[in-house]
């Protein structure tokens, strides 16, 4: 079926159900950023493959909202589909709520699958519709209301991949220790029940890992915790007998995945239940209606974000391994460009394959931490572009390759972006590379009093671009999990307060955050410079506790793209100090020409 055919089939289902507007978010049942194949309804319906977006279908039109990372990609993929792109944050573009308020009238019905809508979003929609005297329908007479399922033939099934134990030697704390801390947090809120649906929170809390979402080591599950009991609702076939026994020994009882809703409905009326509205879905929240709901971010979120000493140690080890693989890749690519053969060129997909091969040579490598963004030349301006067989560009000895990639290791999760000169560069390319690198260096060198949030730092990264009236349309940094999601909260760097997203939290010792300013010139090139940084203590004096960042990523910057005259004295010092550290750390793992290349790539400026 083409996209127009799918939209027409959906509209027929809407008419049968008496629904005037149908909303298709990207979510699974757990509010996840990335979702398994079963949940890719929005992608299947519209043809837009980005990780973030919400589609709205009415009888007279269809629209898709997405953020600045995907404006170019969505514009290309939606062409001719009958779906209009709505650029979130762009001037004159209404939010979904504003659009519904403008287009729905009294008696109209907005429908969606309540399992794939967080209760926070569902509540926001209900408030809007009340103004128009319209109504929401998130559940059918015979169960979940999923119109896409009626028209999606050969829909993939729910993933049921094996679940494994994460040894305490890597986790740093046992699940019994973590459960004790969680129950202390519940007691502070005077809550006898905690219901969790966020997959990474559950995986972290129980020291379990899975693979139900590509590149994210999580498994489909819900959790119910009381002072005496822990109920884990998951697919039993994913657990070995030994793992079920180990969980039972620690007081965790495994129950069927689909029983989570009925169990929530059995919680005694009036009980205080702690849950996170950003991940508990609308249908599960309805099952809790007779209880006293305490809507807060999961306590696990902050506990998970502050890496313990064992996790910090392992993350440093993971980044050394990753640094070796990426350095060897850059050396390989430089050799390919020197020996460039237009009859047998290296392509974007070839780049991604080669980098994966080199990571796979590292001990304890598990899988990539996300789909590799290997974007050459003009593709670099598409912020989250990933090559396909149809778009696969051949590299030439000129312009930039923007390479954003990462790995999952037993020792932790990595995320790195390097913008690599494939050969001759223009003065424009060099200037913007240098400005982006300056912003990265200045943010990485921040020294600050404890109590600062990520909002306080964003200007450091953007200032070299803002001073010439340029910018980039994405956040500057995000939290990163420990052998978990490559994007996690609550820590981030962003000057914007985005509707529906939590405010940046205070930067705490042990938090790991990306530092990734960029610049993108449509039709020409893209630049992004990304390291992961660990927040650590600095000096403490009469003014308070000062903090700083420690670079974890160990790969050189592209000196052939740097304009030294644009760097001030401090920025040169920072660049040279970082490169000296990269050489000390990585050179013992390289030999011969690779080691000589690294020596030159980290030369003093």
Q: Is residue 159 part of a domain?
A: no
Residue where a domain stops, chosen among 253, 278, 305 = 305
Look at residue 419 and tell me if it is in a domain. Answer: yes
DSSP secondary structure of 246-304: HHHHTTEEEEEGGGHHHHHHTSPTT-EEEE-TTTSBHHHHHHTTTSEEEE---HHHHHH
pLDDT at 116: 94
What's 536's domain CATH number? 3.90.230.10
pLDDT class of 139 with cuts at 50, 70, 90: confident
**pLDDT(501) > 70:** no
In a domain, 157, yes or no: no
Q: Are strands 230-234 and 252-256 parallel, antiparallel or unpaired?
A: parallel
DSSP letter string over 387-413? --TTT-PBP-SBSEEEEEE-EEETTEE
Q: Do residues 317 and 296 share a domain?
A: no
Which residues lie closer than 8 Å to 421 by C-beta, 6 or more apart?
400, 558, 560, 561
Instruction: Show which of 282, 305, 328 is a domain's final residue.
Output: 305
Task: Give the number of residues written for the chain.
Answer: 605
Same domain, 211 and 296: yes
Query: Count of CB atoms within 10 A of residue 302's CB?
Result: 17
Residue 369 and residue 414 in contact, taking contact as beta carbons nearer than 8 Å = yes
179: nearest Cα among 244, 227, 218: 227
Residue keyed to tokens 């030294």:
564
The whole-angstrom separation of Cα 584 and Cα 483 is 26
Helix (H/G/I), strand (E/B), else coil: 148? helix
- Shared domain check, 259 and 329: no
Co-location of 255 and 108 in the same domain: no
For the chain, what is the domain count? Answer: 3
For the domain that residue 260 is a member of, what is the CATH number?
3.40.350.10
pLDDT at 60: 94
Q: Which helix (H) or strand (E) holds 489?
A: strand 488-493
The whole-number average pLDDT for the span 321-336 is 98
Co-location of 453 and 371 in the same domain: yes
pLDDT of 460 strictly over 70: yes
Token pair in block for residue 468: 């010439």
* Beta-ladder partners of 223: 196, 232
Answer yes or no: do 268 and 401 share one domain. Answer: no
In this structure, the answer to whether residues 455 and 528 fall within a common structural domain is yes
Q: Are residues 145 and 176 in the same domain?
A: no
Strand bridging mode 61-66 / 84-87: parallel
The predicted structure's pLDDT at residue 386: 84
Tell me: do 539 and 513 sit in the same domain.
Answer: yes
Q: Is residue 8 part of a domain?
A: yes
Rounded to whole angstroms, the Cα distance separating 481 from 216 reads: 10
Beta strands 416-421 and 400-405, pairing class: antiparallel
Show the CA angle centred on residue 359, arms to residues 358 and 362, nearest 5°: 100
pLDDT band at 266 (very low <50, low <70, confident <90, very high): very high
Give yes or no: residues 225 and 252 share one domain.
yes
Residue 25 belongs to a domain:
yes
CA distance 243 to 230: 15
* Domain co-membership, 431 together with 488: yes
Q: How much of the chain exceeds pLDDT 70, in percent?
A: 99
Is 72 domain-assigned? yes
Does 420 map to a domain? yes
- Same domain (yes/no): 479, 577: yes
Which single residue is written with the structure tokens 């959906």? 10
Domain that holds residue 587: 309-601
Distance of CA 294 to the CA centre of its chain: 26
SS3 203: helix
Asked whether residue 560 is assigned to any structural domain, the reply reads yes
Domain boundary at 289, 305, 321, which? 305
202-213 pLDDT, tens per residue? 999 999 999 999
Q: Please give the order of strands across the beta sheet that includes 54-58.
A: 84-87, 61-66, 54-58, 21-24, 109-111, 135-137
Q: What is the pLDDT of residues 56-77, one digit of tens each?
A: 999 999 999 998 888 988 998 9
């Amino acid at each position: 079926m083409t996209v127009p055919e799918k939209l027409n089939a959906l509209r027929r289902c809407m008419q049968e159900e008496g629904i005037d507007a149908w909303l298709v978010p990207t979510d699974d049942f757990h509010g996840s950023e990335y979702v398994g194949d079963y949940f890719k309804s929005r992608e299947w319906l519209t043809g837009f493959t980005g990780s973030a977006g919400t589609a709205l279908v009415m009888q007279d039109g269809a629209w898709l909202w997405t953020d600045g990372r995907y404006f170019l990609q969505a514009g290309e993929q939606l062409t001719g589909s009958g779906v209009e792109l709505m650029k979130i944050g762009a001037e004159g573009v209404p939010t979904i709520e504003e659009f519904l308020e403008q287009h729905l009238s009294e008696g109209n019905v907005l429908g969606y699958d309540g399992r794939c809508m967080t209760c926070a979003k569902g509540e926001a929609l209900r408030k809007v519709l009340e103004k128009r005297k319209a109504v929401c329908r998130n559940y059918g007479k015979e169960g979940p209301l999923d119109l896409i399922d009626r028209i999606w033939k050969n829909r993939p099934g729910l993933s049921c991949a094996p679940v494994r134990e994460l040894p305490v030697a890597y986790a740093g704390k046992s699940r019994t220790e973590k459960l004790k801390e969680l129950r202390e947090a519940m007691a502070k809120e005077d809550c006898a029940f905690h219901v969790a649906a966020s997959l990474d929170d559950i995986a972290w809390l129980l020291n379990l890992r899975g693979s139900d979402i590509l590149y994210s080591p999580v498994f489909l599950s819900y959790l119910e915790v009381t002072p005496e009991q822990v109920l884990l609702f998951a697919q039993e076939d994913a657990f070995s007998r030994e793992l079920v026994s180990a969980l039972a020994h620690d007081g965790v009882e495994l129950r069927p995945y689909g029983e989570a809703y009925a169990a929530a409905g059995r919680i005694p009326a009036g009980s205080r239940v702690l849950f996170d509205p950003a991940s508990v879905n609308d249908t599960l929240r309805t099952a809790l209606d007779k209880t006293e709901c305490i809507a807060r971010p999961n306590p696990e979120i902050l506990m998970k974000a502050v890496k313990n000493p064992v996790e910090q140690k392992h993350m440093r080890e993971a980044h050394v391994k990753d640094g070796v693989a990426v350095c060897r890749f850059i050396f390989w690519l430089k050799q390919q460009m020197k020996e460039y053969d237009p009859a047998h060129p290296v392509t974007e997909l070839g780049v991604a394959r080669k980098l994966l091969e080199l990571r796979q040579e590292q001990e304890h490598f598990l899988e990539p931490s996300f789909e590799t963004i290997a974007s050459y030349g003009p593709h670099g301006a598409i912020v989250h572009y990933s090559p396909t067989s149809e778009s696969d560009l051949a590299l030439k000895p000129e312009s930039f390759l923007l390479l954003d990639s990462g790995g999952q290791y037993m020792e932790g999760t990595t995320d790195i972006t390097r913008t690599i000169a494939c050969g001759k560069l223009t003065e424009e390319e060099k200037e913007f590379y240098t400005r982006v690198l300056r912003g990265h260096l200045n943010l990485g060198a921040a020294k600050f009093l404890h109590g600062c949030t990520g909002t306080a730092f964003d200007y450091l990264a953007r200032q070299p671009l803002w001073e010439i009236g340029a910018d980039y349309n994405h956040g500057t940094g995000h939290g990163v999990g420990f052998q978990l999601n490559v994007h996690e909260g609550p820590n981030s760097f962003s000057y914007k307060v985005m509707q529906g997203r939590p405010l940046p939290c205070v930067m705490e010792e042990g938090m790991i955050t990306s530092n990734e300013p960029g610049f993108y010139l449509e039709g020409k090139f893209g630049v992004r410079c990304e390291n992961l940084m660990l927040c650590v203590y600095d000096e403490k004096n009469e003014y308070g506790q000062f903090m700083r960042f420690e670079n974890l990523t160990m790969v050189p910057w592209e000196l052939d793209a740097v304009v030294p005259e644009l760097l001030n004295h401090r920025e040169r010092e920072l660049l040279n100090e970082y490169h000296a550290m990269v050489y000390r750390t990585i050179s013992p793992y390289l030999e011969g020409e690779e080691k000589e290349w690294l020596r030159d790539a980290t030369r003093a400026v």
